[in-house]
Chains A and B, each alone.
Chain A
Amino acid sequence: MRDPVRFLRRVAVAAALACAPLAAHAETPVKGGTLTAIIQPEPPMLVMGLNQQAPTQTVAGKIYESLLTYNFDLSPRPSLAKSWEVSADGLTYTFRLQEGVKWHDGAPFSAEDVLFSFKTFLPETHPRARALFGRAESIEAPDAATVVIKLKEPFPAFLQAFEVSTTPIMPKHVYEGTDFRANPKNATPIGTGPFMLDKWEKGSYIRLVANPHYWQAGKPYLKDIYFKIIPDAASRALALENGDVMQSQYNDIEPFDVARLAKLPNLTMTKKGYEFVAPLMWLELNTRVAPLDDKRFRQAMMFAIDREFVRDKIWFGLGRVATGPINSVTKYYDPNVPKYPYDPKKAIALLDEMGLKPGANGVRATIKFLPLPYGETWQRLGEYVKQALGKVGVAVELESTDAAGWGKREANWDFDVTGNFLYQYADPSIGVSRTYLSSNIRKGVMFSNTMGYANPEVDRLFEAAAKENDAAKRQEMYSQVQKLIVEDVPVAWMLEMEFPTLLNTRVHDAVTTAIGVNETYADAWVSPK
């Protein structure tokens, strides 16, 4: 209870959670409903171990499962593992598996499948799995229902890694000894989840049907799920409006349309279910380039930009003003950091102090801004930043590029300022430190420390915290590191992004965990018309 605000928010969340199930459970789940949802863009394939793009996760999350899933506060809860223990030294993780689990083709599931996934399949196919399981000294199965993982050194974030898109359990009997990517069975994905692929009409829809042998007796409640592919944004809004589809997620609905749709009587909107990814948006500042190499200039930028305007007028209220490098829904967030309220006078004072006096045309310095080419909302951000910094005498020249060009320029440090956002994956040692560690200044690698930021104390704290078993000590280190980074402003944090999930009022118990729409939907149900 160091922080009353956070505590109050938790209480509020808990209260809301307590009330929501009450309202829902007033009605008992009805079996046999059909859910229709938007999927956009069309996923390239549905084998989660081979592809983890956002739309793949949403569909394949119903087909595959991992050992755990996560509550809204990111604490683990059972999935294929019914219980788990972490040894006191933080080195040994023991998972006990559910019993009576069968693959979609009827073959029994066992600890052998888990070993195959963690040791063979995922390290070969998954971008993050090799580093993750590289931390393991050994991965063993003492019996068919137990998996024991021994780490080389403590890594408390390890328990956050057993989410379905990070570590989906793949069937050993289907893939062992084959070329994983060319396996003909990839067309008919076989998982342990509550839904099985029935039909995929390319360009039109994907139909999943209930798995009759699902290990949770009596579930799923839904008879089937249709994922409809609707490429046009206006058509998606219309389909939700008139009830053709019952669910949209992520960026399916344009920000300016969300408030209008959320008000309709047949729709509800929730921003929950994105805590695991927890995207944070910022302006990436190339600290190798003058005048961005001066901390005072970067602080002046923070004071000169009205981030409430950015949230309300550009993102139409979807987001929270960010306080620093860790998203407030990610673990070890600390709000007690230096604050940068909108204060152009302070910005001017800092620029004056630096000796950047306005020239004859009122310009103190000129910088270039490369907006993220992900649509016009990001373009608006560029236009706003240009005006806001123009007011304090910093001229901004807008550049433009396409998505591929942007990636190349970001990775190769070819920018002054650019917009960006990164997922945090529940724990700072997974999704936050990669942006600020000086060891992660790697030319040519996207989403690394492209700013060229180096602070030895920040490096030390991040490295120590990643190995610290004691949660209180970890929090202390992360609190310190947040203060240091916020003081240095290596990136200008804008918003903690929020995504809206719009659901038809007939849909119940869909968003119940921190992975939201990527959850299995074993508990989801649809009430009759």
Chain B
Amino acid sequence: MNRDFLHAFARNKGAVLGLAIVGAVILVALAADLLFPASPWEMAGAPFGRPLADGMLMGTDMLGRDIASGVAHGARVSLLIGLASTLAAVAIGVLLGAVAGYYGGRLDDLLMRFTELFQTIPNFVLVVVIVAIFTPSLVSIVVAIALVSWAPLARLVRGEFLSLRSREFVQAAITCGQGDATIIFRQILPNCMSPIIVSASLMVATAILLESSLSFLGLGDPNAMSWGFMVGSARTVLRQAWWMCFFPGFAILLTVLGLNLIGEGLNDAFNPRLRRKRKA
């Protein structure tokens, strides 16, 4: 199974490319302090410096800050927020979805109406409201993104649980006298991991985009350098200095593309029917 899976994933060229891109972004994020030891807010050069002028690979912004340093340090913020908010959203979504799907009945109704409440409010509007209320900081942004992202996952997990709980292996576990918690986490959950992993990988991409949009609107953490902030602050001078928007914008594009490619690849690899079709 494992070799089969890796094989299937490796056959998908897009997925491998995505993995390479995201790997590179992670490397840059880890090495940011080595590559650019100074703070990305440091006004290191003359303002409005073009790329490659004054030894600045990507030029400087309107206050003379090194764009390359900002892109490297911004990778940390973007990945951190993407991963942290996805983990939080997965935790909420899996827990609620599993409970609703396993127990069914009134509890299911109640939890699903609650989930729909979150699904009916447009994601971005809700994120903006939450962040505005709790004042922008890394924590409030992670919480806000997690709060708007868990609902679809909860429905997905509920669906999987509904169909799996009537299977023989679950009946057998019940007959053996296993407790509810054991059955949920040890028996059913491992059997619906693949759709969870696929949608989580896509959620990371969405979270990065949400954070960038927030920073673009000036609702990012004012003390953290992020890609969205760089694009947002430079968009007004786009006519004078294209490079200030271009590099961080390109970084967002690459990262989100990479994550989406990985998600597609995982989906294909996890789905045996599709895999067989490709082989044929």
Q: Which residues of A contact B (CB under 8 A)?
A: 233, 254, 256, 260, 313-314, 371, 376, 379-380, 382-384, 386-387, 390, 397-402
Contacts and interface: CB of A to CB of B under 8 A. Distances in A.
Contact of A397 (B47, B219, B223): B223
A313 B62 contact: yes
Contact of B41 (A256, A260, A383, A399): A383
B123 interface: no
Given A256-B240, A380-B233, A383-B63, A398 B47 contact: no
A128 to B, nearest CB: 33
Interface string B45-84: 0010000000000000011100000000000000000000
Contact of A398 (B62, B132, B222, B236): B222
25 contacts: A233-B236, A256-B62, A256-B237, A256-B240, A260-B239, A260-B240, A313-B62, A314-B62, A379-B218, A379-B222, A379-B233, A380-B62, A380-B63, A380-B233, A384-B63, A386-B41, A387-B42, A387-B43, A387-B63, A390-B39, A397-B223, A398-B223, A400-B135, A401-B135, A402-B132
Nearest to A388: B43
Interface string B205-230: 00000000000001100110000000
B136 interface: yes
Q: Chain B, interface size: which category? A: 20 to 34
B41 A376 contact: no
Contacts of B237: 256
Contacts of B239: 260
Given A313-B47, A383-B63, A397-B223, A256 B236 contact: yes
Interface string B193-205: 0000000000000
B239 to A, nearest CB: 8
Nearest to A398: B222
Contacts of A390: 39, 41
A356 to B, nearest CB: 21
Contact of A314 (B63, B219, B236): B63
Interface centre among B39, B47, B63, B237 (most CB of A within 10 A): B63
B236 A399 contact: no
B236 A400 contact: no
Contacts of B63: 313-314, 380, 383-384, 387
A382 B47 CA distance: 16
A459 to B, nearest CB: 37
A260 B47 CA distance: 17
A191 to B, nearest CB: 38
Contacts of B218: 376, 379, 400
Contacts of A400: 135-136, 218-219, 222
Contacts of A397: 223
Interface of B: 39, 41-43, 47, 62-64, 132, 135-136, 218-219, 222-223, 232-233, 236-237, 239-240
Contacts, number: 50
Contacts of B236: 233, 254, 256, 376
A528 B232 CA distance: 42
Give the 6 A-B CB pairs with smallest separation, nearest first.
A398-B222, A313-B47, A400-B222, A256-B237, A400-B136, A398-B223
Contacts of B222: 371, 379, 382-383, 398-400
Nearest to A397: B223
B64 A313 contact: yes
A387 B237 CA distance: 21
Given A313-B47, A387-B63, 10 more contacts: A260-B240, A313-B62, A314-B62, A376-B232, A376-B236, A380-B62, A383-B63, A384-B43, A397-B223, A400-B222
Nearest to A381: B63
B129 to A, nearest CB: 12
A371 B232 CA distance: 17
Contacts of A256: 62, 236-237, 240
A288 to B, nearest CB: 22
Contact of A399 (B132, B135, B240): B135
B93 to A, nearest CB: 30
A253 to B, nearest CB: 11
B135 A376 contact: no
A65 to B, nearest CB: 38
A389 to B, nearest CB: 12
A520 B202 CA distance: 61
Contacts of A379: 218, 222, 233
Contacts of A398: 222-223
Interface centre among A233, A383, A397, A399 (most CB of B within 10 A): A383
Interface centre among B47, B236, B240 (most CB of A within 10 A): B236
A252 B39 CA distance: 35
A160 B218 CA distance: 40
A276 B136 CA distance: 38
A252 to B, nearest CB: 14
B198 to A, nearest CB: 36
B266 to A, nearest CB: 37
B135 to A, nearest CB: 7
Contacts of A313: 47, 62-64
A379 B220 CA distance: 12
A414 B37 CA distance: 35
A369 to B, nearest CB: 9
A14 B219 CA distance: 48
A398 B223 CA distance: 6
B209 to A, nearest CB: 21
